[in-house]
Amino acid sequence: MTRPTPAPQHTGDMKPPVSEVGVLGWMRKNLFNTWYNSLLTVLILFGLWQVVPPLVRWAFIDSLWNSSSEACRDIDGACWSIIPANIKFILFGFFPEGQDWRPITAIILLLALVYYSKDRRHWTRTLAVLWPIGLAVMATLMYGGVFGMPIVETAQWSGLPLTLMLALFGMVAAYPLGVILALGRRSRMPAIKALCVVYIELIRGVPLISVLFMSSVMFPLFLPEGVTIDKILRAQVAIILFTAAYIAEVVRGGLQAMARGQYEAADSLGLKYGQAMRLIILPQALKIVIPPSMGILISAFKDTSLVVIIALYDILKTTQVSLSNPKWMGYSTEAYIFLAVFYFLCCFAMSSFSRKLERDLHTGR
Amino acid sequence: MNETPMDASRNTPRPVGPIIEIADMHKWYGDFHVLQEINLQVQAGERIVICGPSGSGKSTLIRCINRLEEHQRGRILVDGIELTNDIKNIEKIRMEVGMVFQHFNLFPHLTILENLTLGPIWVRKTPKKEAEETAMMFLEKVHIAEQAKKFPGQLSGGQQQRVAIARSLCMKPKVMLFDEPTSALDPEMVKEVLDVMINLAEEGMTMLVVTHEMGFAKSVAHRVMFMDFGQIVEENNPHDFFENPSHERTRLFLSQILN
């Protein structure tokens, strides 16, 4: 690495002092630059030393991954065996024995649909058709009654397919509904505006739990004799209505953040209201609110676990039920860590998707 | 019967009479009487420069012509169509009236080419290919064709404003409104935009220009108007307007702006 030309005479070519570069320099600058920072560094290192090695030992070294429950009694480490031993019930709950292929296919279909929708080039009208079709196919797979598949009542739908369906269809339906509500709230027509304001404020004024209760307990009381609406469907609608109200307010923020000039430029070209919104305003406004919208969708995903209180067995509940089996009692830490990892992976996928989307949609400035 | 189909009215010779006719027009913002008794007739092919101190209502006046602002009294007719609350008429007029804004107002999420073809495709229902050809033609004309695939955020202010002019021209308007088109530009970019506007004038475009570029007014305008406190104070051909203003307020304004 020799330079062909002689070094210039000015000081620009001088190297910084050794103490400023490399690992040592970095540590000196960031960890030990004052006596109290040095003290903090030492304390934190001591704390980590106390916590991390035992944790690693518990989780990985002394642990059992695929054993009987009896074997677990004799070890100090984690008993991860609770997950594989109960995996069928955790994932599929009360779905009848021997019919597992149906929820598995449904989940694969759903994930395929999500994967297809991830690509921005696929965001066309087909998508608006594909999702309802996907929903219908999945419902048929789960419910059966055709092609020789025995009927499985929705009361037996549980575990992972229930969580994923409630969450994904909840989000997919709530988002456009929220956008419509946001536009309605900014409408110049007083009736539409009032309707949207009342809706949004009412829904935001109550907790999701009470909306779910209403949908499962109170709503059926108002239905005429003999008419019943499926419980899962009611929960799904409750989640959609609830999430949409929050999306609406976030989107309204995005609409307000738009410069007035954009509306005027669209108007002065002679675009109609619908065209201006669809082509000019919403693409920009929705882009602005990607981070908070994703925040709402992520919390909606996690909130699906609240359906427990109306006796639906989502993946959280099926895991809890597995814990009540006397054979596996006492391993709740392991089970909940498993759940935490599952929820984390889903949410992390969502948030990295939103960051990617932001990057892709960046057009300079 | 003002209801002649668009295309027929474009091909037949223009009916005699002004293309813009404003009669006894008033506008209020709340209690503030921002435009008072405006009477203005613009003939096809005429170029009018409107100047005046800030807050004098000059921008509001031209924004009334394509209904970005609503007037409360009097009549505005554009191309024989009266501006009322009828959204159909408003859309018809906006098709024929192009507007260039102080802050360009390009659509930042669309490429330059998409900015230009959006109006023709969605409003005039031009086939995409044809719209793109027209767009490229106008981009050549404002000397910016090589930037067609870029986004507005990647262009300089002067380039953006030229794109904005081209965007309006793609709609093949009969009238062009310019709302202080060079005020937001760095000084070295003013000329490139003015050159485009001068070219446009030479082609016979009907133009209403709100600007403080008095050089442009002198060389291009048929008429120069001075507005103050919401009124048209003085209106004359450029020579007499600059050499021999008849109102004290005009004289004061000109002395301030021309140093």
Instruction: Suggest the residue from A268, A284, A289 to mutate for an interface test with chain B (most B CBs closer than 10 A).
Output: A268
Residue A58: its pLDDT value, please? Answer: 85
Give chain B positions within 8 Å (CB) of A287.
Answer: 109
Residue B2 pLDDT > 50: no
Q: Which residue of B has its CA nearest to A260?
A: B105
B37: Cβ–Cβ under 8 A, 6 or more apart, which residues?
B24, B25, B26, B74, B231
- What one-letter code names the amino acid at A154? T
Which of A 262-321 lie inside 8 A of B, CB atoms?
A: 262, 264-272, 275, 279-280, 283-284, 287
pTM of the model: 0.82
Phi, psi of B155, rounded to the nearest 5 degrees: -105, 160
DSSP string over A111-159: HHHHHHHHSGGG-SHHHHHHHHHHHHHHHHHHH--STTPPP--GGG--B
Is A261 within 8 Å of chain B by CB?
A: yes
- What are B228's strand-pairing partners? B231
CB A106 within 8 Å of CB A138: yes
| Distance of alpha carbon A127 from alpha carbon A273, whole angstroms | 24
On the question of pLDDT at A291 being above 60, the answer is yes
Q: Which tokens belong to B187? A: 């000084």
What is d(CA A322, CA A332) in angstroms, rounded to the nearest whole number?
9
Residue A209's contacts (CB-CB under 8 Å, 6 or more residues apart) are: A306, A309
Give residue for tokens 């209760």: A213
Predicted pLDDT at B3: 42
Decide if A144 contacts A102 (C-beta within 8 A): yes
pLDDT recorded at residue A1: 46
Selecting from A261, A262, A270 the residue whose C-beta is nearest the C-beta of B91 gives A270
Judge whether residue B5 has pLDDT over 50: no
pLDDT of A146 reads 80
Q: Is the pLDDT of residue A12 over 90?
A: no
Count the Cβ atoms, other than its own, within 10 Å of residue A185: 21
Kindly determine whether residue A265 and residue B101, on different chains, have CB atoms separated by under 8 Å.
yes
**Nearest residue to B121 via CA among A279, A283, A121:** A279
Residue B68 with chain A: CB contacts under 8 Å = 264, 267-268
Phi, psi (deg, nearest 5) at residue A132: -60, -40
Q: Tell me, what's the pLDDT at A121?
A: 82
Confidence category of residue B12, pLDDT binned at 50, 70, 90: very low
DSSP states along A301-322: HHHGGGGGGGT--BHHHHHHHH
> Distance from A168 to chain B by nearest Cα, in Å?
28
Chain A environment of B106 (Cβ under 8 Å): 265
The string of pLDDT tens digits covering residues A80-99 is: 878 887 888 888 888 887 78
Nearest to A265 among B67, B105, B153 (CB): B105
Model pLDDT, residue B13: 45
Task: Kindly state the average pLDDT of the residues A151-166.
Answer: 84
Contacts of A243 (CB under 8 A, 6+ apart): A170, A171, A174, A178, A296, A297, A300
Contacts of A266 in chain B (CB under 8 A): 107
Mutate to test the interface with B, among A188, A269, A279, A282 (most CBs of B within 10 A): A269
Of the listed ranges A76-90, A265-279, B29-43, the one predicted with least confidence: A76-90
Identity of the residue numbered A353: F
- State the burial class of residue B62 (Cβ atoms within 10 Å of its Cβ: 0-12, 13-18, 19+): buried
Mean local confidence (pLDDT), A156-180: 89
By residue count, chain B amounts to 259
A269 vs B contacts (CB less than 8 Å): 94, 118-119, 123, 167, 171
Full 3-state SS string of A20-57: HCHHHHHHHHHCCCCHHHHHHHHHHHHHHHHHHHHHHH
Residue type, A8: P
CB contact (8 A) between residue A268 and residue B94: yes
Q: Does B113 touch chain A (CB under 8 A)?
A: no
> How many Cβ atoms from other residues are within 10 Å of residue A48's Cβ?
10
Mean pLDDT for chain A?
Answer: 85
Q: Residue B9: its pLDDT value, please?
A: 39
Spatial contact of B201 and B182, defined as CB atoms under 8 Å apart: no
Is residue B7 scored above 80 in pLDDT?
no
The number of CA neighbours under 13 Å toward the Cβ of A39 is 3
- Structure confidence at residue A313 (pLDDT): 87
The distance of Cα B60 from the centroid of its chain, to the nearest Å, equals 12
B109/A contact by beta carbon, under 8 A:
yes
> What pLDDT score does A149 carry?
77
B112 touches chain A (CB under 8 A): no
Q: What is the per-residue pLDDT for A5?
A: 58
**Distance, CA of A107 to CA of A279 (rounded, Å):** 34
Q: Which whole number is the average pLDDT over B153-174?
A: 93
A363 and B CB contact within 8 Å: yes
Q: Is the pLDDT of residue B10 over 50?
A: no
Under 8 Å CB pairs connecting chains A and B tally to 72
Q: Is the pLDDT of residue A166 over 50?
A: yes
ipTM score assigned to the predicted complex = 0.88
Provide, as residue numbers in chain A, all residues whose Cβ is less than 8 Å from the Cβ of B109.
283-284, 287, 361, 363
Give chain B's mean pLDDT.
89
Select from B95, B105, B167 the Cβ nearest to the Cβ of A262.
B105
Cα B145 from chain centroid (whole Å)? 23
pLDDT of B16 > 60? The answer is: no
